[in-house]
Amino acid sequence: MRNLKVISGICLFFIFFAGAQAQRTSFLRINEVLVINQDNYVDDYGKKHPWIEIYNSSPATVDIGACFLTNDLRNPKKYMVPKGDVLTKISPRQHVLFWADNNPTYGTFHLNFTLDQDSTKTNFIALFDSDGRTLIDSVTIPAGQKADISYGLVEDGWTQQKLEETLRLNSLYKKGDKLWVYYEKVTPSANNVILDSNEKIENFKLNDADGLGMTLTAMSVVFVALILLYLIFKYIGKVAMDLSRKRVMKVSGVTKEQASELASESGALYAAIAMAIYETTEAHDAENMVLTIKNVARNYSPWSSKIYSLRTLPKKN
């Protein structure tokens, strides 16, 4: 009974592991394809061949090793991506490039088939999981391909469902309603759309070429900020004074009405009170406002008197 539980646990573990592996590879997408490579990207041997770009849309690293690439649906295991190559581990949101040059001896990323460059024929490409039966992704490149113009997804790793959702949320999606589009500026091993300009700057140049709107906006922001700071400090000071006044009244035992009466007294009264306090507390050795001069006797030794100091040289007799 115990052995049966152990065997069942091991089986469940492998089933779970296989399911997790399949789930990870399911994030792989055929992202961009160039059929006719006349004056474009070259491989590590300096040769120009058709290439296929695979994109990892997962937030985790996915190993494409042991998966299969084919151009024939009847032969899904046509090319198995070798296992054990560290370069087959595709980082999140990154790409890997395969050369369809029919030279698998050149390395891991050189396929054992090529693409038909006849402009009247279509090309089919499929990516299968390591079991050779589970289709991960596929695409049919239409006939009429032109040299050095690639055929790729409108956005990296997108599916038809993602495109439809985007169009539902934004009916004016500027890239259109097609999942696969042509790229005159091909981007092997890079994002399908590479921004070589700043859209905000372009809009700024178009709508405010002289910078007048930006100047007025900046000045308005500064003045509004200064006004807000003035109001904030003004009312903070008022609140602080009110709180301080309330604390003094509480300590002194003065009511609000009494404080109001005190505040209504004239300034002359307070001046007289202050003068009286000054006269009472200030001590003098003589009458105030009278200048008193007293002689001070200083006793000193004649030996320290200046009249006995040697100011001139002694005379010689």
pLDDT tens, position by position, 22-34: 458 999 999 999 9
For residue 68, what are the contacts with CB-CB under 8 A and spacing of at least 6?
76, 77, 78, 79, 80, 81, 127, 128, 129, 130, 132
Share of the chain above pLDDT 90, in %: 47
Interval 140-173: pLDDT, tens: 999 999 999 999 999 999 999 999 999 999 887 8
Q: Write down the pLDDT at residue 22.
A: 44
pLDDT digits (tens, 9 = 90+) for 178-189: 999 999 988 888
pLDDT value at residue 210: 78
Question: Where does residue 48 rank: exposed (0-12), middle (13-18), buried (19+ CB within 10 A)?
Answer: middle
The string of pLDDT tens digits covering residues 223-235 is 999 999 999 988 8
Residue 277: the pLDDT is 78
86-90, 217-221, 284-288: the lowest-pLDDT one: 284-288
pLDDT of residue 310: 56
- What percentage of the chain carries pLDDT values higher than 70? 75
State the pLDDT confidence band at 174, using cuts at 50, 70 and 90.
Answer: confident
Pairing of β 95-99 and β 180-183:
unpaired
Provide the pLDDT for residue 315. Answer: 65
Quick: pLDDT tens for 104-133. Answer: 999 999 999 999 998 889 999 999 999 999
Starting at the edge strand that comes first in sequence, how are the strands of the sheet with 79-80 ordered? 79-80, 68-70, 123-128, 135-141
- State yes or no: pLDDT of 285 exceeds 70: no
Q: How confident is the model at residue 21 (pLDDT cuts 50, 70, 90)?
A: very low
d(CA 135, CA 80): 14
* pLDDT at residue 17 is higher than 50: no
196 secondary structure, DSSP code: -
Please name each of the domains of the chain with its CATH number.
2-196 (2.60.40.1260), 213-296 (no CATH)
Q: Of all helices (H) and strands (E), which one includes residue 180? A: strand 180-183
